[in-house]
Each structure stands twice: as structure tokens, then as C-alpha cells.
């Protein structure tokens, strides 16, 4: 007698299992699901319990080992003043809102008199500012600077209300401090 070869479907060329094998697969799958649902104790609630089951086999515990000790950043001098200016960008209708400050900071939030956040100014990376910019003319040589782009509505709001704004400074090691937001008067827009 010749061994039986699986028949091939003409459209997909995939093997077709004989009906007996297909039936055995379904039975094996069903038996596996029943055994898994019953768990080791035969209880059908084994999977819904979050209580550990007692075990006679010792379980290895994982101990946490410090591979790199935590580094605590020493406090750096907090800013004592923050001034602002407006510079132009290459994009029409967009401007740069600049903050000039002494000391060290991790970020700034400009807030109005009610505490509503007006602008968030993260610490910017490096940038190139020509001699005609506020960055070059309004910033003190020893000050640091950061900037963020702003659109026309924010710019108009700033011009109308900046005298009432404050700046919350995220310092390095001193928490958050609030300082007045002082206008340099420099506008390059």
C-alpha cells in the first residue's frame, strides 16, 4: 500500500490535513484549554486568584543591587532676575520670545496675575543670533538666555498684559521660585 500524501489546493498550494488529523488538533486544543483553566489543584478559579499558591520548591529571590549609585545634583545659584525681549524669525507671523536671566534654571513658566500659564519656555539649546538681534543687544554679557517661538495671538496678549506677568523658575536644587518678568523694551519683529 502506498503512503497517503496530503492533497494540495490548486489556488494556494497549501497542504490540507486529512479530516482525522484536523479532528485530533481540535481535541488537543480543547483538552489543553480545560487543563489550563483547572490549574494544578483542579480548581476552576486558579486563574482569577491573585493569592500565591504554596510551593514545596524553593524560589530564588532576586536582590536589587545598586550598579550605579544615585547622583545628587548640588544646588546651583538660582536666578535673581528675568528679563524678556522679542526677536524676529524667518517665518512670517512668528516671533521669538526670549528670556534673559542670571543663575541656573531647568525651565520657565510665564503666568498671569491669576496664575494661568501663558507660556512655557524650556531651556533652549544653542542658536546663532546676529548683532542686530535682541539676544545680542538686550542681554547682559553674563546672563544666560532661552527662547521659544510664539504666534500672533500670544504676541498681542504679551504686549497688552506683560506688565502683570510673573515667571515661575524651575531651579536646580532650590525648587520653584517666582520672579517679576522685566521688559527690556527690545523688539525686533
Give the model's pLDDT for residue 189: 77
Cα–Cα nearest to 96, from 145, 40, 165: 145
Judge whether 94 and 105 are in contact, CB under 8 Å. no
For residues 102 and 83, what is the distance between their CA atoms, to the nearest angstrom? 10
Averages of pLDDT over runs of 10 residues in the chain (189 residues) are 49 55 65 58 47 55 60 87 93 91 96 95 90 93 94 93 96 94 93
Give the model's pLDDT for residue 62: 57
Amino acid at each position: 500500500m502506498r503512503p497517503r500524501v496530503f492533497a494540495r489546493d490548486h489556488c494556494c498550494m497549501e497542504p490540507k490535513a486529512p479530516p482525522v488529523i484536523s479532528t485530533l488538533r481540535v481535541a488537543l486544543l480543547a483538552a489543553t484549554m480545560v487543563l489550563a483553566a483547572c490549574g494544578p489543584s483542579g480548581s476552576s478559579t486558579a486563574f482569577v486568584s491573585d493569592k500565591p499558591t504554596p510551593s514545596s520548591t524553593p524560589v530564588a529571590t532576586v536582590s536589587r543591587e545598586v550598579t550605579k549609585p544615585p547622583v545628587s545634583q548640588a544646588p546651583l545659584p538660582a536666578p535673581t532676575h528675568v528679563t524678556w525681549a522679542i526677536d524676529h524669525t524667518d517665518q512670517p507671523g512668528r516671533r521669538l520670545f526670549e528670556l534673559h536671566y542670571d543663575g541656573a534654571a531647568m525651565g520657565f513658566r510665564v503666568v498671569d496675575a491669576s496664575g494661568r500659564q501663558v507660556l512655557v519656555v524650556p531651556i533652549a539649546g544653542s542658536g546663532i543670533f546676529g548683532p542686530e538681534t535682541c539676544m545680542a543687544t538686550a542681554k547682559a554679557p553674563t546672563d544666560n538666555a532661552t527662547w521659544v517661538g510664539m504666534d500672533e495671538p500670544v504676541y498681542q496678549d504679551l504686549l497688552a498684559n506683560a506688565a502683570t506677568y510673573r515667571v515661575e523658575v524651575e531651579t536646580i536644587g532650590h525648587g520653584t521660585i517666582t520672579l517679576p518678568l522685566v521688559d527690556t523694551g527690545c523688539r525686533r519683529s
